Chains A and B, each alone.
Chain A
Amino acid sequence: MSLLEVEGLSARHGLLNAVREMSFSVADQQVVAIVGANGAGKTTLLRTIAGAHPAAGGTITFDGLDITRMPAHRRVREGIALVPEGRRLFSELTVEENLRVAGRRARPGPWNVGSVLDAFPMLTPLRDRRAANLSGGQQQVTAIARALMTNPRLLIVDEVSLGLSPTAVDTVYAGLGRLRDAGATLILVEQDLRRALSFAGHVLCVLEGRVVLAVPAGDLTREQVTEAYFGLQSSEPR
């Protein structure tokens, strides 16, 4: 049974078609990595799923519910959380306040300020620091922690390891692993292919707004993915 069903989804920026009739589905408790070159439309796709960008066509179904026109904040209540590109923390709020804002209307679940800080111990000394004064990596971790506070069933992370030091990447993936093990579904954009292929069960390659490859991660070689990046392979139906 698939948790997320995307049918013929399109999204535009003005005249530019950033997402063109994409169709794919994500099963419950699956981990999907989305890869693709700069400007392929990954961010736009994720934002459309989370409701931060309007769909120009097609449908998005979440757990049997058509959410194509649902506003973003309601999708959060249904269990979709997005870690947006560029972190987008509330800059004047402290780290803890950032977490609490997200926790206020959260679905019930295991994540709260305490458990999130346990999962990302590097945040504990930063609790009372204003988000604007964090380093790039610290912001990235806070953004992921904040998304967890909503207790998502589907967590979408755009550029997971961007700006993270190697140890921080390990911590973050450990946290995501715990989430996966607790039964959540994950969609990640990750440019570190090795990571992506080892962590994700499925890989979705996006090229110029289209899904060109959608296969289980185990069946995939780096070469196949690289080819898909540059469009050398004819698109396969999922």
Chain B
Amino acid sequence: MNWINAVVQGLLLGGLYALFACGLSLLFGVMRIINLAHGDIAVLGAFLVWSITTRANVSPLLGLALALPVMLALGYALQYTVLARSLRGGTLTPLLVTFGLSIVIQNGLLQAYSPDVRSLGGSAGTLSTGSWHLTAQLSIPYLGVLTLATAVLMLGGLQLCLRHTGWGREMRATALDSDTAALVGVPASAVYARATAIAVGVATVAGTFLAVHSTFDPSSGPTQLIFAFEAVVIGGLGSLWGTLTGGIVLGVAQTIGATIDPQYSILAGHLDFLGILASPRGRSLITRSTT
């Protein structure tokens, strides 16, 4: 029974990782940017949602809905002001830019909001603490299910769009060769801006879920980053379905590891990741081109 519970909880945790990884995967897939500021953007989003939620005294989901337009606009602005230029400097330049961005956001938040920890769990009420009790050993939390469902919807929806709509084809084409995309009439910077806006938006969603799940403070961003990166790599760079799988694999590995011994939780996730990289089958899995 414990094992079943571990797998179920791992699945739900995987939803959170996948959500975190989604924006990362998108930016990497489309713009080849390894975004070191992703976690901090998520936390920035969480702070915005928190501000709205506590000011207006509304539920975090409504707060998220109100914050999203702002964050999407921020994504657009981010692309046009910073990322667009950095992309011209080769693959490493965006790495430096996003590193810079990361510490600017972190410490900007520290100045603006103080180092206090905050959470959206309180205002989310039963969403954050309620669950369906199936048996004494197995209960399925509302929040986990909502997180997983959101992740499936977002990643799945985005994946389908990328594959099957003109909009998605444009995005993939721009990702592969933005100069040539311009030569067939695709405004590359607008496409990039759209991708960045979506990535920032999804990061905000992820940040909000994290904030309901746990607490956050200005320095919380980087802690979740490595899990998100692992999910992206396990799933195959640039493939959103793969990212979802990657997140879930990681989540389940962690909970199963924890069931064996709590100190193996995170370690089990990492070892699982390295094992996948090392095994020939796993490698063909991740190097397979999935877009």
Contact = CB atoms under 8 A, between A and B. Distances in A.
16 contacts: A52-B182, A72-B182, A73-B181, A73-B185, A73-B188, A76-B184, A76-B185, A88-B183, A90-B176, A97-B172, A101-B166, A101-B173, A102-B185, A104-B186, A147-B184, A149-B184
Interface in B100-159: none
B177 A71 contact: no
B169 A104 contact: yes
A146 interface: yes
B185 A105 contact: yes
Nearest to A132: B289
Contact of A100 (B166, B182, B289): B166
Interface residues of B, number: 19
Contacts of B188: 73
A52 B173 contact: no
Contacts of A82: 183
A84 B188 CA distance: 17
Contact of B169 (A71, A72, A101, A150): A101
A150 B173 contact: no
A84 B186 contact: no
B172 A90 contact: yes
B43 to A, nearest CB: 33
B291 A92 contact: yes
Given A93-B172, A100-B166, A146 B184 contact: yes
B215 interface: no
A81 B183 contact: yes
Interface string B171-201: 0110011011111111110000000000000
B170 interface: yes
B92 to A, nearest CB: 21
Contact of B170 (A50, A76, A104, A146): A104
A100 B186 CA distance: 12
